[in-house]
Amino acid sequence: MPLVRISLLRGKPSAYRQAIAEAVYQALRDTFDVPDRDRFVTITEHDGEDFIFDRFYLGIDRSDDFVIIQLTVSNTRTREKKRALYLRIVELLAADPGLRPEDVFINLVEVLPENWSFGMGEAQYVK
């Protein structure tokens, strides 16, 4: 059910981008109980002039490896699960592809379960 949007500066190899997508998916499985095959991800690369971020907001020193990860999920998780998700994403991205925690920006967007249609014009989560 999560919809994952990953944005980064243009120029990273495919394996690097795929490692980010895989780490986010694994973190969602580890902390949000996302089932197997529930994987919907877009990765967008931007030229520098189209990827604008403050390199020192809140005292965090960001580099050109900065990545924005936006997750749209149903509003069913506790604050503790959300914190666990953020930490797990950073942990996995540090391992592969080697992103610094300072370069990982995560935004969680919560929606009601009836706001999803996975195809066929149906709202699969509405009972």
For residue 58, which phi and psi values (nearest 5 degrees)? 60, 25
Count of the separate structural domains present in the chain: 1
123 inside domain:
no
Give me the domain span that covers residue 69: 3-115
What's the pLDDT at 91? 98
Q: Are 69 and 106 in contact, with CB atoms under 8 Å apart?
A: yes
- pTM for this prediction: 0.93
What's the pLDDT at 116? 84
- Which positions are catalytic? 2
Task: List strand residue ranges (DSSP E) for 2-124, in order.
Answer: 3-9, 40-46, 67-74, 104-111
What's the pLDDT at 120? 87
What's the pLDDT at 1? 76
Q: Which CATH number fits the domain that encloses residue 23?
A: 3.30.429.10
81 inside domain:
yes
Intervals of the chain under pLDDT 50: none
103 inside domain:
yes
d(CA 70, CA 6): 6
75 inside domain:
yes
d(CA 7, CA 9): 7
